[in-house]
Every structure is written in structure tokens, then in C-alpha cells.
A and B are shown apart, each in its own frame.
Chain A
Amino acid sequence: SAVISQKPSRDICQRGTSLTIQCQVDSQVTMMFWYRQQPGQSLTLIATANQGSEATYESGFVIDKFPISRPNLTFSTLTVSNMSPEDSSIYLCSVGRGGGNEQFFGPGTRLTVL
């Protein structure tokens, strides 16, 4: 498995502000992903973070709201922009391993928007 770290671990933010979440992996990986888990719900894929090109967003998620950077093969950021209370969730990054058959998750960021 990969060693994945995320910062911050948690945050409480005011509506209308933005928060950038960082994901760092201990070795180079081709595939990195960002997921959201709303309270009481399962995980939903936001986007695939592509190195050297724009992220690929899932239906219902847009770049203006969730801009993603992937400057190299070990690091990515997700920004939650112009936050509202509905953005209160756990945000998780994951990486693909095992020839792409497995995914491992970072520790997550618990975001509360007031």
C-alpha cells in the first residue's frame, strides 16, 4: 500500500470562503483521485487528478467549484471554492496501485462550513 497524507485533517470555515486540501504520496503514482463523503452518505468521486493536464470531473462536479492541481506524480490539491454549509463533508484523496486494480485512501479532511 501507499503512504498518503492529507492536510488539513479538519477545518471549520465560514461560508463564501475557500479551502485548499493537500494530498501527498510517498512514491510516484499515475492515478490520483478526489472523493467526497457527505454526512451519512457513501463516497462519491469528484474527479481524477491528471498530471500535466486538467482534471477529469464527474457529473455534478465542476472545475470552478472544485479546482484541482496535480503538479507532479506525488502531490495534488483540491480547492473547495465559495463554500456553503452543503459542502460540509469528508474529502478524501486516493491513489491507484496494484496495476490499477486497487485504490488506497488518505486519512481524509473533515470540513465543516458554518
Chain B
Amino acid sequence: EDKVVQSPLSLVVHEGDTVTLNCSYEVTNFRSLLWYKQEKKAPTFLFMLTSSGIEKKSGRLSSILDKKELFSILNITATQTGDSAVYLCAVLNAGGTSYGKLTFGQGTILTVHP
């Protein structure tokens, strides 16, 4: 069974801090790893990673994948209160009857104080 584990489960920081969120996974047929930000109901897409060692960046957010060690990290620099949210890591399965299935981690609750 596919499994995704995120750490830490929650994190409290002050504005301006840098945070690193971790995601480790086990999946039978890896297709891609996705990061989402969830503030209310809908997860908002952040990054899609398929190749090891290639950093994806969007403003203050960046992410990288290590397919050998089966993990990914999401970095947020110079955090702002608007970064407060649940960050979800998910792995997309490529194989058979699980094709297209996303398996989610528990999420990391990030709280940024002014």
C-alpha cells in the first residue's frame, strides 16, 4: 500500500523565518510528487516534481525531490502570515488500477506569527 509521511505535523514560526517541510514516501509505481497548500477547503497546487535533484521555485517557495532516498522537501523563506496553512504532500501512482491515484500525507500545519 502506498504511503506518504510528512514531518513535522505542525510548526509555529515568526515572520521572516525560513521553514523546511519534509515528505517521505513509499509507492509501488511512482509518477510524480505534488505539493499543495490548503487554507480553507480546496488544496491549491504548488509544485509537481518528477526528477531527482531539480529544484522547482516559485517566489519564496522551492521544492526538490530525491528519488533515491524517497523524499522531498518544501522550503519557504522569509515567511509571512499569509503562508499560514496546511501543506500537503501527495504521490501520484502510475500503475495499473491505481493509475492517477493520489496518496496524501497527513499534512503539516504551518502557523506564522507577526
A-side residues, CB < 8 A to B, are 1, 31, 33, 35, 42-45, 48, 56, 58, 90, 92, 94, 96, 98, 100-110
B-side residues, CB < 8 A to A, are 31-32, 34, 36, 40-45, 48, 50, 88, 90, 92, 97, 99-107
Please determine whether A42 and B100 come into contact, CB atoms closer than 8 angstroms.
no
- Interface of A (DSSP majority class): strand
Please determine whether B48 and A106 come into contact, CB atoms closer than 8 angstroms.
no
Please determine whether B32 and A42 come into contact, CB atoms closer than 8 angstroms.
no
Please determine whether B102 and A33 come into contact, CB atoms closer than 8 angstroms.
yes
- Interface of B (DSSP majority class): strand
From A109, which residue of chain B is reached at the shortest CB distance? Answer: B41
15 pairs, A vs B, C-beta closer than 8 Å? A35-B102, A42-B104, A42-B106, A42-B107, A45-B103, A56-B97, A90-B41, A92-B41, A96-B100, A100-B31, A102-B34, A103-B34, A103-B92, A103-B102, A104-B45
- What chain B residues lie within 8 Å of A43 (beta carbons)? 43, 88, 90, 102, 104
